[in-house]
Homo-oligomer: A and B are copies of this chain.
Amino acid sequence: MATRPMARTDFASPPHGDPPLETETLRARLAATRARTLALAAPLGPEDMAAQAIEEASPTKWHLAHTSWFFETFVLARFLPGYRLFDPAFGYCFNSYYESAGARQPRPRRGLLSQPSLERVMAYRRHVEEALEQLFDSGLAPQSEAARLLELGLQHEQQHQELILSDILALFAANPLRPAYRAAPPRGLCGPPEPLRWIGYAGGIVRIGSDADDHFAFDRDFAFDNETPRHDALIHPFEIADRLVTNAEWLEFIEDGGYGDPAFWLFDGWTTIQREGWEAPAYWERRGGLWLAMTLEGLRPLEPAAPVVHVSFYEADAFARWAGARLPTEFEWETVAQQEPVAGNLLEDGALRPLPPAETFQGHARQLFGDVWEWTGNAYLPYPAYRRPAGAIGEYNAKFMCDQHVLRGGCCATPQSHIRASYRNFLYARQRWLFAGLRLARDVGR
């Protein structure tokens, strides 16, 4: 049976030893974050870091540069007197989607940026980091705009850490050699999943979201604008599964003809699986009657008790219908998660794949944080009285509030200090390249 690893992998270690991330200053946290980004890229060769498998995914090198561009553009150019742009052409190359920051390399063509070379991008990172040191040296008021944007840049870089992993997996899965991001020993057989248990919740008015937006810097209260404002929401009585849906359960769905019966599917989902020829989660392939899955450790046998991962919203929704249940709402999920510690199989654990749940702790939902992002039944929409931030930062989250779907809880590639109960991730329903899976919920008493 696969078990959670005891030791952290090297790249996940903070560069400084003792002080826990929670108590470090912003400066130290920033340095540690930047260092971890490099550590994540370390196993890759320059060609691996330059290629782009799909429109959604970006080359590692691009992530390395873009996260530096973010600091350069939104912090250094505004707050460090005399700051010199490393290369004025980099704005075009490494702006992701900020209309207010000017024209940019079209997203599907990021893989064409063979130049600037990796070496030059590394020099860019150092240039930016040295300037950040200067900025810190010059003194920085905790609640200043610069400090707030530094914190945002740190959080932003954490998001790209996760993307480095999901994107390199997309690249390697598209490679006929199915290369591994890291070597792994053969694993023992994984046992069957435990039975699912339902945990019941009463309905009522609950408090949702964060009120962090006015004072997030230099403390642990950071939240993105899309988690605000904190507000009342009404939930109805429901039950929620105490663990994630497993590979074994997904195989049952496949074997029961789940991908062949339109009755389980949303119209857009059915159209999509027909057009794309999907018959299983992304990265699953059947070889000689056996299901394998492409992972960061290469092509591996499925682990029955591990959570299913790399499914679209369409598939998650269809599975839930097949199972006689539904996806939880994001408010139900947050209500449950508010009661649990932010702990789980996250990036620092170093597993880099979802794992079977730990032993049952009666009445508690497990795997809420880490393992896989959990699709909810909610469209990604602004909270009541949400105010779109002014300027470029208003493009960070707000402009995507249309036809995307909320996911909660982080995954095995999410830094522990990045996730929280109120965190809202979002994807288009068709997207499968992130580490996304699902948990079931159901109505009560009807």
Residues of A within 8 A of B (CB): 45-51, 53, 61, 89, 92-93, 97, 99-100, 105, 109, 111-118, 171-172, 174-177, 179, 205, 229, 231-234, 236, 262-263, 265-270, 313-314, 317, 321, 377-379, 381-382, 384-385, 387-388, 394, 399-403, 429, 443, 446
Contacts and interface: CB of A to CB of B under 8 A. Distances in A.
17 contacts: A45-B114, A45-B117, A47-B49, A48-B117, A50-B50, A51-B111, A51-B112, A51-B114, A97-B267, A113-B176, A115-B172, A232-B236, A267-B399, A267-B402, A268-B403, A317-B402, A403-B429
How many subunits of this chain does the assembly comprise? 4
A61 B45 CA distance: 14
A250 to B, nearest CB: 20
Given A45-B117, A47-B118, A51-B50, A174 B89 contact: no
A236 B209 CA distance: 15
Contacts of A112: 51, 53, 171, 174-175
Given A266-B400, A378-B379, 12 more contacts: A48-B114, A50-B51, A111-B111, A112-B171, A236-B384, A266-B401, A266-B402, A267-B399, A267-B402, A268-B402, A270-B399, A313-B402
Nearest to A91: B176
A116 to B, nearest CB: 7
A267 to B, nearest CB: 4
B51 A116 contact: no
Most buried by B among A46, A53, A236: A46
A353 B399 CA distance: 33
A236 B388 CA distance: 18
Contacts of A268: 402-403
Given A50-B51, A112-B175, A175-B115, A99 B263 contact: yes
Contact of A234 (B89, B97, B205, B381): B205
A422 to B, nearest CB: 18
A402 B269 contact: yes
